[in-house]
Structure 1
Amino acid sequence: MNELSFTSETMSHKAVQAAFKQLKEKTNPYLNPEEKSKLREAVHYGAYAHEKQIRKSGEPYITHPITVATVLAELRVDIDTLIAGVLHDTIEDTDVSHADISKYFNTDVAYLVEAVTKLDKLKFRNLKEAQAETFVKMLFAMADDIRVIIIKLSDRLHNMRTIAAMSASGQRRISRETLDVYAPIAERMGLKKIQHELEDHAFKALHPNQYKHIIDACQKIAGNRQKAVDKIRKNIKKALLESGMHVDVSGRQKSPYSTYKKLKSKQVEIDEIHDLFGVRIVVRELNQCYLALGIIHNLYPPNENGFKDYIAVPKQNGYQSLHSVVTGPFGMKLEVQIRTEEMDQMSEAGVAAHWLYKHKDAQQTRSLTNARSWLNSLLNLQKDSGSSLEFYENFKGDLGVDEIYVFTPKGDIVQLPSKSSVLDFAFAIHTSVGSHAESATVNGNPATLSQVLDTGDLVSIKTAQGLTVTAEWLRVVVTSKARTAIRKELKDIKDEDALILGHRMLDRALDTFGYSFEKLDQRSIKRVLKHYQLDSMNELLKAFAFGELLPSIAARKLMPLMKQRKLNKDYQPKEALTIDGTEGSILSYPNCCLPLPGDDITGYLSPTKGVVIHRSGCINLTDTLKNAPERKVFCSWSVNTNGNFKTSLEVDVVNRTGVLASLAAAIANEDVNIVTIDQTDRDTGFSLLVFTVEVTSAKHAQVLMDQLQSHREVLNVKRVYHERNN
């Protein structure tokens, strides 16, 4: 395109003219004459670029970007964002280049168009990976310029409005992605209107029958309640006007998808949802919100636990409003929302109301500060996650859920997703507080780290040095921050354990060749690292512990070439490992035989689980080594073994009242922790009890077994393991 003053046949199409008319109606109130001229030129430019392209709906393609710009105009975005909305598909779908847009418009518009294009060019192996990577890419684009995401959300919204033109499988895929990725981002940005429309279109495409059921049910309920709601609305407006306030009072209805989510989460019938219909009140000044609340409560009594002050404590996306559930005529409950005009604008446009420009000196508002803080926290979480998929799966649990507000001992408010535990709170305060959390109090009472919190709870955490996270903690936390921090620390602990174990394994292997770790020279190390395509000695050591490489083979390669030539080619060194109980998470003891210190043991170097320690006669070990004898590890227990080890005891008993409690007490008296108890009834009057317990050695287990055998209800006691009979 050599000039902008051209005519396009596409522009004469009725659908295009109608779309352009809507765009002008939305932009005329706030654009100046020069900006209107620029927007008109952009529409002509886009129409010419897309001239031969047709949408699946049969309309000229340019209707899509014009409508995207119209959605943006409803948010009153700046002229560059509007132009980028009109041109957002040109670089990807036409001959127009980044340089062309820079030349005819400006570099800012060109950047926005290219950034939106990059989000669409991602290719992945599967849908989950695609959603995760798309989400991460959108976060980084958001961090650079929020307008990229606003354009992308507007683009997705128009695609959802016309989704019926797609195939059934395409509708399901796009709708699922919309609910999992785009709607949650719109919610966190405070773009409520876009969020709800995205959700409703996706809900309708995925579950058409349930969508229709909710629509029909709401219409039926509305018919019964409409007069009552209108009367309440008029009474409220009259009372507020008489008090001297200038207010706007309107009715509101819960969106179909929000209704569907509440039906699922609360397990109630649709006519039991108190905020299905409500009244929204918009006042001019902040103090009038609370004055209006008092006047309304004087008219209609408030429900206990039905009040939420999102003005004093805004939602993380900056949303502010007072919510109160009141009881109207005939016992009908409905929700009243009260906010200022600025808060109302914020509830519709979200961060877009304040964060439409990249300028560093942009006005700092609470909502803008919250949005930036939220975004920065996400980027930090992403850095600490092992992959985009892990990050996305962790974070997804935080999206679209209700929030609770709890207090620190200093009176600071901490926002958390509903159903958060004390441990979630600890990690929200700081990662180090969570990692070293020992105990807690809630409202002055002792509490476990797994206790679920409620709004208003006052929480205090006691920490202790030397504590380490455990995998069990993942079961009691719900926030992405806690899950990511726990997984990262578990990985760090496992890596440290792997380094120590790998070092010991290589030491043993070198020793069988009459060599030692201290004698290794840098030239040999570099040669071996290059052979295995590793970057450091630490990676090599971890590879031994994780079962990825065999120490005996690497040990031979690590020795000087002259010494290697002197070795007998047929010589096969025996891997050797002494276990002292300090190996941590890197060693595993399988449930098939549960070896204890004192048992004869043999290891297997698993390529997926690292070093697995079996009892030497275990059937599973024998079968495994048939196919991989080179992965056998000769093991022995250290003279001074530390720690507790699991074992299972089968106890045949006479089934009498209280026998289980009696045996459990006997085990506890031996200072033994019970992990699990299983009971199976056999013939009449007899049962099999299986106790999984933690003991220090085979000798300790035998002492416990003797103690259990002495009970008169016990017929027989034995350890559970599967060994091959010789």
Structure 2
Amino acid sequence: MITLADLIALVRNYNPKTDEDLIRRAWVYGEAMHEGQFRHSGEPYFTHPVAVAALLTEMRLDDSTLVTALLHDTIEDTKSTYSEVAQMFGEEIAELVDGVTKLTNLQISSSEAKQAENIRKLLIAMSRDLRVILVKLADRLHNMRTIRSMKPAKQAQKARETMDIYAPLAGRMGMQWMREELEDLAFRVLNPEARNSILRRFITLQREAGDVLHRISGDIRTELERAEIDAVVFGRAKKPYSIWRKMQEKELAFSRLSDIYGFRIITNSVDECYTVLGLMHGRWRAVPGRFKDYISQPKSNGYRSIHTTVSGRDGKRVEIQIRTREMHEVAEAGVAAHWAYRDGERSVNPFAVDPAKWIATLTEGLGSEEDHDAFLEHVKLEMYSDQAFCFTPKGDVIQLPRGATPLDFAYAIHTRIGNSCVSAKVDGLRVPLWTRLRNGQSVEIITAEGQRPQASWIDIVATGRAKAAIRRSLRDEDRARFMRLGGELLRAAFENAGRDMSNKALATAAKIMGISDAAELRARVGAAEISARRVVAALYPDGVSETPQVDASRPVLGLNADQSFRRAACCQPLPGERIVGITYRGKGVVAHAMDCDALAEFEDQPDRWIDLRWQDGTHPAVYGVTLDLTISNDAGVLGRVCSLIGEHKANISDLRFMDRKPDFYRLMVEVEMRGVSHLHEVMTALEAETSVARILRTRDPSLRP
């Protein structure tokens, strides 16, 4: 925990005229009130109010707000009272502390009806003094930074509340840095697998592409120097949640994302902003439709900046934001810039928005009781500016991503509505089905009996649900005919290969190819989406081609001559799989599969990561893999399974029976493989065997190094 002297020093950095005595008295009072209280982590509770106050100094806020942070939990959690705080620190601070207390007591993530009422109370509190929500946002940020000490159920509830309410609210107030951090902290709780996957891919991308940020920043500075413009350049990679959300909305794989890097250029004047824009477009090709001028048309929270996206070095798309220093201050602090201090005086920023005027745009009409529902709809539309909330003729709200069309709206209501859609009315006017919907619009879907989805609809819709429903409908139309034709094609292909076609073999092939079942496989073959020969090849691939043999003592590239190497027992990586090395003191380098869960433990230790890859060529069958087999309890089955493994030139090094039933056995088989293709070959052959009910490759996280 920072000390009182540290906190006062942080304040004096931007406000030399701070009332040190006021802050010192608030510290002593808050520490005394929270005496004997502890957080879930075991730390003294008062460390939390101090951390909240320190966060607010980063926004250069006034003494009253900092004192409120130090006292924000006293009325709620201690024997302190409103009257006592007012007597000791004044009515202004007492009202601020009381406002934060009331916000804390709102169960915002409760039922929808109660949530709407509580959001109304939240906004009423904001309208009285916006500093209340600034303290509450800093309070939530520190709680999210330390959320790991809470119980899992509480973590999930707080993370969802943060993602739904507090992060969008921070963004709406112009505090984009806080929104991004809140979203990422909540994302870490709600979907840790996705976040870790993106972080691992980032590490791989940086190794493969080098320091892209440094190179592009250098290119930008070169252009600025040639034009003799004095400006500051920042470069950064986008946050994991921002990347994941874009992947979901656009249904793109990570490898297909282009603009994952962003750059800011801070100039000295508005004229220089437009000069720099010309330099950037002169150096690189601008991406059409990705230019926004928030200098000439500022956002309601005071945000001003020029946004453009260009195809930069190596064809990579990069977003560039250009703004002045004063605009940058507002972009960082948002509405909070109104209270910012510098050299002991209120900082007069020409672009900072008056909070009273800003909050009035949200609370307009709140005084009329019958307008509450409309008011809440308006507030949600304003807060969730990256989504589109549209309404049915009955007033029901349909939530869609930005860029959605009436077809997406129809499928969001029901697949049957989407499939039979012929046209739509938006705000009472008939529009084409490819029209992009905006927040607050009313949409009426017009359907017709006998209407079926068209192939062109795939390119119109924006949501995964609509795309999947359209594809499914297009296949279903001729499904029966395609299944019959596909069955005949497959039967001929199996006969040509000298193999028998069975439902078990087709089901196994479908699983290998990522298809739901054998019936769907037949339909896709009949529709010419997949060739019958490819299905047979998936089950019975050709033997390993003649390639140079690899030295088993040094099978990977990327090690120093003095470094020892071994495979991680937890994930058992095989040649052909992407791997990364982790250095261990006294254990040398341990190779993990790129998707191994154990790697999450080393995200904050990049100096221990080593870029490894398997040598090209044929590896000897010395790499053990554990297979979980369930086989029928019939005479000769185990022998046939072992013989089948041997026929594929794989050696069984260990075999353990895990469960014995009257009709089935479950066993763990340790098999030595050449690589991942060899493993797939063996598993495919076993899956096609009628007596094998199930086969899995197992990984044991408990065997981490």
- Measured against the shorter chain, the TM-score band is 0.5 to 0.7
CA separation of 1:181/1:271 partners in 2, compared to 1, >3 Å: closer, same or farther?
same
Q: CA deviation at 1:214?
A: 1.5
For 1:99, give the aligned amino acid.
Answer: S
Match of 1:448 among 430, 439, 450: 430
Query: Which residue of the partner structure matches residue 657 of structure 1?
Result: none
Separation in 1, partners of 2:284, 2:381 = 37
Q: CA deviation at 1:312?
A: 1.7
**What secondary structure does 1:337 align onto?**
strand
Q: CA deviation at 1:54?
A: 0.7
Q: CA deviation at 1:287?
A: 1.0
CA separation of 1:94/1:74 partners in 2, compared to 1, >3 Å: closer, same or farther?
same
For 1:203, give the aligned amino acid.
Answer: F
Query: Which residue of the partner structure matches residue 345 of structure 1?
Result: 329
Separation in 2, partners of 1:394, 1:377 = 8
CA separation of 1:284/1:223 partners in 2, compared to 1, >3 Å: closer, same or farther?
farther
Match of 1:372 among 354, 357, 364: 357
For 1:247, give the aligned amino acid.
Answer: A
CA separation of 1:27/1:337 partners in 2, compared to 1, >3 Å: closer, same or farther?
same
CA separation of 1:305/1:20 partners in 2, compared to 1, >3 Å: closer, same or farther?
same
Separation in 2, partners of 1:221, 1:324 = 24
**Residue 293 of structure 2 is aligned to residue 309 of structure 1:** yes
For 1:448, give the aligned amino acid.
Answer: R
Q: CA deviation at 1:419?
A: 4.5
Per-residue CA distance 1:44-69 (angstroms, 9 max, x = gap): 11101111111111111110000111
RMSD (Å) for aligned C-alpha atoms: 4.0
Q: Is the 8 A contact 2:12 2:18 kept in 1?
A: no
Separation in 2, partners of 1:401, 1:96 = 40
**Residue 42 of structure 2 is aligned to residue 82 of structure 1:** no
Structure 1 or 2, whichever has the larger Rg, is: 1
Match of 2:439 among 455, 479, 487: 479
CA separation of 1:393/1:447 partners in 2, compared to 1, >3 Å: closer, same or farther?
closer
For 1:51, give the aligned amino acid.
Answer: E
Query: Which residue of the partner structure matches residue 566 of structure 1?
Result: none
Q: Which aligned pairs between 1:344-363 and structure 2 lie closer than 5 A?
A: 344-354=328-338
Query: Which residue of the partner structure matches residue 270 of structure 1?
Result: 254
CA separation of 1:417/1:156 partners in 2, compared to 1, >3 Å: closer, same or farther?
same
**Residue 152 of structure 2 is aligned to residue 168 of structure 1:** yes
For 2:91, give the aligned amino acid.
Answer: T
Separation in 2, partners of 1:269, 1:290 = 35
CA separation of 1:171/1:273 partners in 2, compared to 1, >3 Å: closer, same or farther?
same
**Residue 223 of structure 2 is aligned to residue 239 of structure 1:** yes
Query: Which residue of the partner structure matches residue 39 of structure 1?
Result: 23
CA separation of 1:146/1:378 partners in 2, compared to 1, >3 Å: closer, same or farther?
same
Query: Which residue of the partner structure matches residue 259 of structure 1?
Result: 243
**Residue 175 of structure 2 is aligned to residue 191 of structure 1:** yes
For 1:80, give the aligned amino acid.
Answer: S
Q: CA deviation at 1:43?
A: 1.1
Separation in 1, partners of 2:356, 2:296 = 17
CA separation of 1:228/1:203 partners in 2, compared to 1, >3 Å: closer, same or farther?
closer
CA separation of 1:74/1:452 partners in 2, compared to 1, >3 Å: closer, same or farther?
farther
**Residue 75 of structure 2 is aligned to residue 91 of structure 1:** yes
**Residue 43 of structure 2 is aligned to residue 51 of structure 1:** no
**What secondary structure does 1:76 align onto?**
coil
Q: Is the 8 A contact 1:403 1:418 kept in 2?
A: yes
Q: CA deviation at 1:392?
A: 4.8
For 1:68, give the aligned amino acid.
Answer: V
Query: Which residue of the partner structure matches residue 294 of structure 1?
Result: 278
CA separation of 1:141/1:26 partners in 2, compared to 1, >3 Å: closer, same or farther?
same
Query: Which residue of the partner structure matches residue 280 of structure 1?
Result: 264
CA separation of 1:317/1:133 partners in 2, compared to 1, >3 Å: closer, same or farther?
same
For 1:352, give the aligned amino acid.
Answer: A
Q: Is the 8 A contact 1:318 1:371 kept in 2?
A: no
Match of 1:131 among 101, 115, 118: 115
**What secondary structure does 2:64 align onto?**
helix
Q: CA deviation at 1:377?
A: 4.0
**What secondary structure does 1:368 align onto?**
coil
Q: CA deviation at 1:234?
A: 1.2
Q: CA deviation at 1:440?
A: 11
CA separation of 1:82/1:374 partners in 2, compared to 1, >3 Å: closer, same or farther?
closer
Separation in 1, partners of 2:347, 2:314 = 50
For 2:254, give the aligned amino acid.
Answer: I
**What secondary structure does 2:383 align onto?**
coil
Separation in 1, partners of 2:3, 2:138 = 15
**What secondary structure does 2:319 align onto?**
strand
Q: CA deviation at 1:183?
A: 0.7
Match of 2:92 among 108, 120, 144: 108
Separation in 1, partners of 2:93, 2:54 = 17
Q: CA deviation at 1:400?
A: 3.5
Separation in 2, partners of 1:333, 1:256 = 17
Query: Which residue of the partner structure matches residue 47 of structure 2?
Result: 63
Separation in 2, partners of 1:202, 1:171 = 9
Structure 1-normalised TM-score? 0.52
CA separation of 1:257/1:417 partners in 2, compared to 1, >3 Å: closer, same or farther?
closer
Separation in 1, partners of 2:7, 2:310 = 40
Separation in 2, partners of 1:65, 1:264 = 37
Separation in 1, partners of 2:172, 2:37 = 35
Separation in 1, partners of 2:108, 2:213 = 50
Query: Which residue of the partner structure matches residue 214 of structure 1?
Result: 198
Separation in 2, partners of 1:63, 1:309 = 43
Separation in 2, partners of 1:132, 1:362 = 36
**What secondary structure does 1:325 align onto?**
strand
Q: CA deviation at 1:306?
A: 2.4
Q: Is the 8 A contact 1:316 1:374 kept in 2?
A: no
**What secondary structure does 1:448 align onto?**
strand
Q: CA deviation at 1:351?
A: 0.5
Query: Which residue of the partner structure matches residue 56 of structure 2?
Result: 72
Per-residue CA distance 1:264-294 (angstroms, 9 max, x = gap): 1111122333331122111111111110111
Per-residue CA distance 1:573-616 (angstroms, 9 max, x = gap): xxxxxxxxxxxxxxxxxxxxxxxxxxxxxxxxxxxxxxxxxxxx
Separation in 1, partners of 2:387, 2:303 = 12
**What secondary structure does 1:311 align onto?**
coil
For 1:106, give the aligned amino acid.
Answer: G
For 2:142, give the aligned amino acid.
Answer: H
Q: Is the 8 A contact 1:419 1:452 kept in 2?
A: no
Separation in 1, partners of 2:117, 2:434 = 32
Separation in 2, partners of 1:19, 1:166 = 25
In the alignment, structure 2 segments of 5+ residues that lack a partner are 389-399, 407-423, 451-476, 479-705
Per-residue CA distance 1:640-666 (angstroms, 9 max, x = gap): xxxxxxxx99x9xxxxxxxxxxxxxxx
Match of 2:320 among 314, 332, 336: 336
Separation in 2, partners of 1:53, 1:60 = 6
Q: Which aligned pairs between 1:640-679 and structure 2 lie closer than 5 A?
A: none
Separation in 1, partners of 2:430, 2:8 = 60
Q: CA deviation at 1:144?
A: 1.1
Q: Is the 8 A contact 2:249 2:401 kept in 1?
A: no
Q: Which aligned pairs between 1:313-324 and structure 2 lie closer than 5 A?
A: 313-324=297-308
Q: CA deviation at 1:122?
A: 3.6
CA separation of 1:111/1:154 partners in 2, compared to 1, >3 Å: closer, same or farther?
same
Separation in 2, partners of 1:327, 1:122 = 47
